[in-house]
Amino acid sequence: MVRRRDVIVGLSALPAVQLAGGALAAATAQEDAEDEAAGESAPQEQVMEGDTVETSQGNLVIHPVAHASLLLAWGGHVLYVDPVGGAEPYADLPAPTGILITHEHGDHFDLPTLEAVAGQAPLIVNEAVYNMLPEALKGRATALANGDTGSVSGIQVRAVPAYNTTPERQQYHPQGRDNGYILTFADKLVYVAGDTEDTEEMRALSGIEVAFIPMNLPYTMDVEQAADAVNAFQPAIVYPYHYRGSDLDAFEELVQPLIEVRRGAWYPEGEG
């Protein structure tokens, strides 16, 4: 945990213009040297490995913020996904070079937070959120419909459907409105599912390296449904997120052993 935070904070100390290229690698190398000097490289390496994913162009750093909010840092790119909770959780984190919003619900989209943290970063949103943005943010936002592709901060993005399939839950996320996103980091695909059940589109995905999958009722799905979906599309790594109150031990038990389940610090207040 400490090590992951060090990497992110290290990035934030650099001026944005210097972030391009090997800034992350440089920060990591410097920390490796420090760890060796301190004689503690082995255990710290494992923590670091737990929150990074190798790509053919350097490590992707995954930083859960809370519940459904996360950062993905790669090279000079810093993507915020569904930032909410005000400016405070982001105060020590690098500024975004791009922002993605999955849908309009308050645990995914919060205008005061956006206005506090966005800087000049471009946004990718769904159409409903686009229509809720003030002009200043709208001017650098792109609305993607389900199935559309675009890019933000030079990262290729595909919007995938996120919706409820159980009749009594369809009021929460009706089909066609909300997005999940598949992001391309060199040779690795990262899928942030948004609020969804195990749609046929999710179950048909392939080649996903990292998947962020929600599980909580009544808004998304239960752990059995989530595990069944994960077993269907076989990501290499799955992060349960948006799971407040759910039984992650049960989820992990149901996921096939070849799929790595990673647990992040999604509930810093301890309500997870």
- Mask: binding to Zn ion, 104-123, rule CB under 5 A, as x and -? -x------------------
Q: Cβ 167 to Zn ion, closest distance in Å? A: 17
Residue pair 9/90 in contact (Cβ under 8 Å)? The answer is no
- Mask: binding to Zn ion, 87-106, rule CB under 5 A, as x and -? ------------------x-
Pairing of strands 155-162, 178-185: antiparallel
| Type of residue at 104 | E
Query: How many residues belong to the chain?
Result: 272
Residue selected from 31, 82, 110, 195 as contacting Zn ion according to rule CB under 5 A: 195
- Cβ proximity to Zn ion, 3 vs 67, nearer residue: 67
Helical packing angle, 41-50 and 23-38, nearest 10°: 150
Backbone angles phi, psi at 17, to 5 degrees: -65, -20
- Cβ proximity to Zn ion, 105 vs 188, nearer residue: 105
Residue pair 272/64 in contact (Cβ under 8 Å)? The answer is no
- Cβ proximity to Zn ion, 31 vs 195, nearer residue: 195
**DSSP structure class, residue 265:** -
Q: Cβ 163 to Zn ion, closest distance in Å? A: 10
Q: Cβ 105 to Zn ion, closest distance in Å? A: 3
CA distance 224 to 40: 39
H helices of the chain, in order, are 2-12, 23-38, 41-50, 111-117, 127-130, 135-138, 200-203, 223-233, 248-254
Binding-site size for Zn ion (CB under 5 A) equals 2
Q: b vs e for 32-59, b when ≥16 Cβ sit within 10 Å of the residue's Cβ?
A: eeebeeeeebeebeeebeebbbebeebb
Q: Cβ 85 to Zn ion, closest distance in Å? A: 15
Q: Cβ 100 to Zn ion, closest distance in Å? A: 15
- Cβ proximity to Zn ion, 195 vs 198, nearer residue: 195
- Cβ proximity to Zn ion, 105 vs 158, nearer residue: 105
Among the candidate windows 60-68, 116-124, 192-200, 252-260, which touches Zn ion by CB under 5 A? 192-200
- Cβ proximity to Zn ion, 153 vs 196, nearer residue: 196
Q: Cβ 213 to Zn ion, closest distance in Å? A: 14
Q: Cβ 148 to Zn ion, closest distance in Å? A: 20
- Cβ proximity to Zn ion, 96 vs 180, nearer residue: 180
Which value, in Å, is the radius of gyration of the alpha carbons in the chain? Answer: 18
Binding site for Zn ion (CB under 5 A): 105, 195
